[in-house]
């Protein structure tokens, strides 16, 4: 085996004795036959004598007879499908130095939304295919043989042969086009050094609009023919973001042009291909009349995220997928910076706590993983595009920035970008630059957060004039892990002017109250409140003793706390309650303190906690469920009544978001008045789609209201929604309908909605809308449906991370040990690496709920507390 092609099998990474310098690629897609042919000439640097060239190829037919290295023909060509490698053997050693490897190949334009694939659209009433690439993480190898590893950066020179009437786009601008009958040949400029996963091709019929940055970089948005007005908002955000990043990273946008394009079939939300960013339609297109405020935010954040990658990811690239978070965590964090500067009225940094929240929730599972994770096979990469890499990643960056200070942090980032431009970096490389620029122990501090899974909860207790702190790993199952962190503690006492910051390095530490700078105990120690983790910049939770907790409740009621701190308190309290570290009773009492809150950002967390409580109480306390729901309705209703259903002239973006949020929550809590009003407005809307009674922002609430009233014997609402779906041209409207269809309490209707997913009326990319909407009443029927259809689901969605959604959405709502065992048994012989983690996490959530239920049932004073609170809020 020592000198055979098989010696290269089973390795995570390609051998480094030969590396590509430049790819000259000629590719000819056939959009009707759904296949393509290509020819590659790759300049390769051989750095050590070898008889083999080893590169990646998958689902490609490489023509063995065409392969040459210089003028040498190989004696042995082996393609190992499972390893996705192509081993080219020669009868003698290749000399050290540069040579050109040439080969011809063919492949399929698949329907799996990865590699080189086809997407369907309709133009002038005619159904057509477009050809699109999606290479991240490891699918460039499905389009051409290559060293498909982010560290093998090379230059790319593409030539495409396409039907003359189509638009053909790639990373770089066109240098030349020649037409020969029905086929045109398009030549593109050679790219700078870049990784394979960022190469892109799109071929189809499109229109575009154009603008340019202050530096003169041309920026275009391509849309389907006749739809360019929907690209205007994204174009504007793009141009402004590019200007902003150029200043922030102190480096100009590296390419001569930037194109952005909406693709009708798209597995992710968007993809940052260098100079040719691809998007799901809902993440790029915005229509003044047809999109909601939340659609608008989504577009802005997505554009800002993908453009941040042009520096963080594309110019400086992670050395290996272990460091994926450097790409995704940073792009997520920076996107908030850009959007905050473009739309200050959105209060974007407070909304950032949505990211922190999902990071904290996922990372409280034993089945979580460290930010830096070992990758041994390409098939493991997709699964780490998760809340840990994105949300925890972005949150620990915010934590570090807040510790180092914004200015120092930015300066260090700019020098990191300069140092590693056109090259690759590891997590340690970033820490080294930050450490050098700041003089702070960045590496020691941050390693505890990136190499170790989980995070701490800080127990805070007042002992005389000492605030005693103790850290322990927080886990939602109530156990304590063994992790230890260096925790940037921030705290304030009685006012935001009286602060104390330090690094908690040991298990315990304490602060003397007098240490709070500018501390005055004017209103007597009785009314003192102490808040740790000011503005939730730290990635940890806090458990206060009863006295401190009571102080904070008073501070909330007295409106002394920032929006972020109010969010932090309710989120921590909820998590501690799930982990059985505090009672549901005390959580309900705390929620009561948010009774007259009117801010969207705070209420979005409050409603999410309310909905979780309402769900768990269905199984935990069926007798009390109605009263608990009423209590939660009473809590949310004042703000909802103030806003009503109708938009008001000049109201803020966040109030528009809040209206939608509250109406949806009230419908989900079963509030009859809201449901009836939603149904009333829906009927008017059915007659007149232009009615001002149901603008896009409140439409989802009305759709959900209608579905609450639908049953097999009264299905007209369901059919009406299907009709809206079929007639809607806008993907955002379609997604609103899909997200409602499965939310009926009627099991047969839920089943019908699930089966609708399998028809060709629903794109495979959109399955998660239906899955995400399944009613609690429908969870059993959904599980049976999943078991029955598992083979089909696996076959259709296997190659994307969408497969995990089926498991997450269908398994997680269960709340019993028996169910966990049943699910686990079903998958025992069906497990695959691509959804193993999703399954383990879902099962863990089920078991956590089961334990939470047991503990809720043994809370002696819950019933009485609910009655008391009900009387207080009625």
Return binding residues for Zn(2+): 305, 309, 328
Q: Which two tokens stand for residue 549?
A: 């907790």
Which of these is catalytic: 84, 189, 281, 306?
306
Applying CB under 6 A, the site for ligand BES has a residue count of: 16
* 305 is a contact residue toward ligand BES (CB under 6 A): yes
* 309 is a contact residue toward ligand BES (CB under 6 A): yes
* 302 is a contact residue toward ligand BES (CB under 6 A): yes
CB of 118 to Zn ion, least distance (A): 24
3-class secondary structure per residue, 324-391: HHHHHHHHHHHHHHHHHHHCHHHCHHHHCHHHHHHHHHHHCCCCCCCCCCCCCCHHHCHHHCCHHHHH
Helices (H), ranges, 558-671: 563-578, 584-592, 600-620, 625-643, 653-668
Q: Which is nearer to ligand BES, 56 or 332 (CB)?
A: 332
* 772 is a contact residue toward ligand BES (CB under 6 A): no
Q: Which is nearer to ligand BES, 159 or 765 (CB)?
A: 765
442 binds, among ligand BES, Zn ion, none (CB under 5 to 8 A by kind): none
Sheet holding 115-123, edge to edge: 115-123, 126-134, 201-204, 167-170
* 271 is a contact residue toward ligand BES (CB under 6 A): yes
Applying CB under 5 A, the site for Zn ion has a residue count of: 2
Q: Which two tokens stand for residue 39?
A: 């020819």
Q: How far from the centroid of its chain's Cα atoms is residue 390's Cα?
A: 6
Sheet holding 487-493, edge to edge: 499-504, 487-493, 530-532
Q: Which is nearer to ligand BES, 236 or 627 (CB)?
A: 236
136 binds, among Zn ion, ligand BES, none (CB under 5 to 8 A by kind): ligand BES
Q: Which is nearer to ligand BES, 283 or 504 (CB)?
A: 283
Cβ atoms 245, 214 nearer than 8 A? no
Q: Which is nearer to ligand BES, 192 or 313 (CB)?
A: 313
Q: Which is nearer to Zn ion, 331 or 620 (CB)?
A: 331
Distances in whole angstroms, Cα of residue 244 to Cα of each of 214, 215, 238, 396, 667: 10, 11, 10, 22, 41
DSSP, collapsed to helix, strand or coil, labels residue 251 as: coil
CB of 236 to ligand BES, least distance (A): 17
Interface pattern 327-346 for ligand BES (x via CB under 6 A): -x--xx--------------
Q: Give the list of residues 6+ apart from residue 283 with CB closer than 8 angstroms, or none.
A: 269, 270, 298, 299, 302
Of the chain, the end-to-end C-alpha distance in Å amounts to 78
Q: Which is nearer to ligand BES, 331 or 669 (CB)?
A: 331
Using CA atoms, how far apart are residues 245 and 290, in angstroms rounded to an integer?
A: 30
270 binds, among Zn ion, ligand BES, none (CB under 5 to 8 A by kind): ligand BES
Place of tokens 């009708």: 264
Cβ atoms 80, 59 nearer than 8 A? no
Using CA atoms, how far apart are residues 187 and 802, in angstroms rounded to an integer?
A: 35
Interface segment toward ligand BES; rule CB under 6 A; list 263-271, 356-364, 611-619, 776-784: 263-271
Q: Which is nearer to ligand BES, 87 or 394 (CB)?
A: 394
How many CB atoms are located within 10 Å of the residue 92 CB?
A: 9
The footprint of ligand BES on residues 369-428 (CB under 6 A) is 385
389 binds, among ligand BES, Zn ion, none (CB under 5 to 8 A by kind): none
Cβ atoms 768, 809 nearer than 8 A? yes
For residue 82, indicate whether it is catalytic: no
CB of 256 to Zn ion, least distance (A): 23
CB of 305 to Zn ion, least distance (A): 5
Q: Give the list of residues 6+ apart from residue 314 with CB closer than 8 angstroms, or none.
A: 194, 195, 198, 254, 272, 274
Interface segment toward ligand BES; rule CB under 6 A; list 324-332, 342-350, 417-425, 577-585: 324-332
CB of 302 to ligand BES, least distance (A): 4
DSSP, collapsed to helix, strand or coil, labels residue 258 as: strand
Place of tokens 């999410």: 608
* 835 is a contact residue toward ligand BES (CB under 6 A): no
Interface pattern 479-518 for ligand BES (x via CB under 6 A): ----------------------------------------
Instruction: Provide the angle, in degrees to the nearest 10, between the axes of the packed helices 393-404 and 427-438.
Output: 10
* 137 is a contact residue toward ligand BES (CB under 6 A): yes
Q: Which is nearer to ligand BES, 172 or 268 (CB)?
A: 268
Strand partners, 97: 46
How many CB atoms are located within 10 Å of the residue 573 CB?
A: 24
385 binds, among Zn ion, ligand BES, none (CB under 5 to 8 A by kind): ligand BES
Half-sphere exposure of 330 (CA within 13 A, CB side): 25
Using CA atoms, how far apart are residues 492 and 519, in angstroms rounded to an integer?
A: 9
Single out the residue of 14, 46, 131, 268 in contact with ligand BES (rule: CB under 6 A).
268
Single out the residue of 101, 186, 331, 511 in contact with Zn ion (rule: CB under 5 A).
331
Instruction: Provide the angle, in degrees to the nearest 10, between the axes of the packed helices 563-578 and 833-857.
Output: 80
Q: Which is nearer to ligand BES, 385 or 814 (CB)?
A: 385
CB of 422 to Zn ion, least distance (A): 20
Using CA atoms, how far apart are residues 314 and 329, in angstroms rounded to an integer?
A: 14
* 138 is a contact residue toward ligand BES (CB under 6 A): no
Interface pattern 785-804 for ligand BES (x via CB under 6 A): --------------------
633 binds, among Zn ion, ligand BES, none (CB under 5 to 8 A by kind): none
252 binds, among ligand BES, Zn ion, none (CB under 5 to 8 A by kind): none
Which own/partner pairs from 432-437 qualify as long-range (CB within 8 Å, at least 24 positions apart)?
434/400, 434/404, 434/409, 436/412, 437/408, 437/411, 437/412
Q: Which of 196, 249, 275, 238 is nearest to 420 (CA)?
A: 249
CB of 302 to Zn ion, least distance (A): 9
Single out the residue of 53, 143, 237, 301 in contact with ligand BES (rule: CB under 6 A).
301
302 binds, among ligand BES, Zn ion, none (CB under 5 to 8 A by kind): ligand BES
706 binds, among Zn ion, ligand BES, none (CB under 5 to 8 A by kind): none
| Residue closest to ligand BES when measured from CB atoms | 269
Single out the residue of 270, 339, 396, 469 in contact with ligand BES (rule: CB under 6 A).
270
Going by the DSSP 8-state scheme, the letter that residue 289 receives in this structure is T
Single out the residue of 269, 481, 483, 647 in contact with ligand BES (rule: CB under 6 A).
269
Q: Is the torsion defined by CA of 597, 600, 604, 605 positive or negative?
A: negative
Catalytic residues: 306
Contact residues: ligand BES, CB under 6 A: 136-137, 268-272, 301-302, 305-306, 309, 328, 331-332, 385
The residues of the shown chain that bind Zn ion, judged by CB under 5 A, are 328, 331
């Amino acid at each position: 085996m020592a000198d055979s092609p098989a010696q290269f099998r089973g390795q995570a990474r390609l051998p480094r004795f030969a590396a590509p310098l430049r790819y000259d690629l000629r590719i000819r897609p056939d959009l009707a036959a759904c296949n393509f042919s290509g020819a590659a000439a790759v300049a390769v640097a051989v750095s050590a004598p070898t008889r083999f060239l080893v590169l990646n190829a998958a689902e490609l037919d490489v023509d063995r007879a065409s392969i040459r290295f210089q003028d040498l023909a190989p004696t042995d060509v082996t393609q190992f499908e499972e390893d996705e490698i192509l081993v080219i053997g020669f009868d003698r050693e290749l000399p050290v130095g540069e040579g050109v490897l040439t080969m011809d190949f063919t492949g399929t334009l698949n329907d799996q939304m990865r590699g080189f694939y086809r997407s369907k659209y309709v133009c002038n009433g005619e159904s057509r295919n477009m050809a699109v690439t999606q290479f991240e993480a490891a699918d460039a190898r499905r389009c051409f043989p290559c060293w498909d590893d982010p560290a093998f950066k090379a230059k790319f020179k593409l030539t495409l042969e396409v039907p003359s009437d189509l638009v053909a786009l790639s990373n770089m601008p066109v240098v030349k086009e020649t037409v020969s009958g029905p086929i045109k040949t398009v030549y593109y400029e050679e790219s700078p050094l870049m990784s394979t996963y960022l190469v892109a091709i799109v071929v189809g019929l499109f229109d575009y609009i154009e603008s340019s940055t202050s530096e003169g970089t041309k920026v275009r948005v391509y849309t389907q023919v006749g739809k360019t007005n929907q690209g205007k908002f994204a174009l504007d955000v793009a141009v402004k973001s590019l200007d902003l990043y150029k200043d922030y990273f102190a480096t100009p946008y590296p390419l001569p042009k930037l194109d952005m394009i909406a693709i009708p079939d798209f597995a992710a939300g968007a993809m940052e291909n260098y100079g040719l960013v691809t998007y799901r339609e809902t993440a790029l297109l915005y229509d003044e009349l047809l999109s909601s405020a939340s659609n608008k935010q989504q577009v802005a954040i997505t554009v800002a995220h993908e453009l941040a990658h042009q520096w963080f990811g594309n110019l400086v690239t992670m050395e290996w997928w272990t460091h994926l978070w450097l790409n995704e965590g940073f792009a997520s964090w920076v996107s908030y910076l850009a959007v905050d500067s473009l739309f200050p009225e959105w209060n974007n940094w407070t909304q950032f706590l949505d990211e922190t929240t999902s990071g904290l929730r996922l990372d409280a599972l034993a089945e979580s993983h460290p930010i830096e994770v070992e990758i041994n096979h390409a098939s493991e990469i997709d699964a780490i595009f998760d809340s840990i890499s994105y949300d925890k990643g972005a949150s620990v960056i915010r934590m570090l920035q807040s510790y180092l200070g914004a200015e120092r942090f930015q300066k260090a980032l700019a020098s990191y970008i300069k140092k590693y431009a056109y090259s690759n970096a590891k997590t340690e490389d970033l820490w080294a630059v930050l450490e050098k620029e700041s003089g702070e122990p960045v590496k020691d501090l941050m390693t505890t957060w990136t190499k170790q899974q989980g995070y701490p909860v800080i127990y805070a207790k007042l002992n005389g004039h000492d605030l005693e702190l103790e850290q322990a790993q927080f886990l939602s199952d109530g156990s304590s892990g063994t992790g230890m962190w260096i925790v940037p503690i921030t705290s304030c006492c009685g006012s935001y002017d009286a602060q104390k910051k330090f690094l908690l390095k040991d298990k315990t530490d304490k602060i003397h109250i007098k240490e709070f700078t500018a501390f005055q105990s004017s209103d007597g120690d009785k009314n003192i409140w102490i808040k740790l983790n000011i503005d939730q910049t730290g990635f940890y939770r806090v458990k206060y003793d009863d006295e401190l907790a009571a102080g904070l409740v008073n501070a909330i009621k007295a409106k002394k706390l920032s929006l972020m701190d109010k969010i932090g308190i309710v989120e921590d309290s909820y998590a501690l309650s799930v982990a059985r570290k505090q009672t549901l009773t005390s959580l309900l009492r705390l929620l009561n303190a948010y009774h007259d809150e009117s801010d969207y950002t705070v209420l979005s967390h409050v409603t999410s906690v309310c909905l979780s409580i309402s769900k768990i109480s269905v199984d935990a306390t069926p007798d009390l469920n109605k009263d608990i729901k009423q209590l939660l309705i009473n809590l949310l209703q004042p703000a909802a009544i103030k806003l009503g259903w109708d938009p008001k002239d000049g109201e803020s973006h966040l109030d528009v978001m809040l209206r939608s949020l509250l109406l949806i929550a009230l419908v989900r809590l079963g509030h009859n008045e809201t449901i009836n009003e939603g149904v009333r407005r829906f009927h008017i809307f059915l007659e007149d789609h232009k009615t001002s009674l149901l603008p896009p922002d409140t439409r989802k609430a009305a759709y959900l209201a209608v579905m609450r009233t639908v049953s097999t014997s009264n299905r007209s609402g369901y059919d009406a929604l299907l009709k809206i779906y079929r007639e809607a041209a806008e993907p955002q409207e379609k997604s609103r309908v899909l997200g409602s269809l499965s939310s009926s309490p009627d099991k047969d209707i839920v089943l019908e909605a699930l089966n609708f997913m399998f028809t060709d009326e629903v794109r495979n990319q959109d399955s998660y809308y239906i899955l995400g909407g399944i009613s609690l009443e429908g969870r059993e029927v959904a599980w049976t449906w999943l078991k029955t259809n598992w083979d089909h689901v696996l076959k259709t969605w296997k190659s994307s991370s969408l497969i995990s959604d089926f498991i997450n959405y269908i398994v997680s709502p269960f709340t019993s040990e028996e169910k966990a065992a049943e699910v686990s048994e079903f998958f025992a012989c069906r497990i695959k690496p691509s959804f193993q983690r999703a399954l383990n996490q879902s099962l863990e959530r089920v078991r956590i709920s089961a334990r939470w239920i047991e503990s809720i049932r043994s809370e002696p004073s819950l019933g009485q507390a609910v009655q008391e609170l009900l009387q207080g809020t009625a």
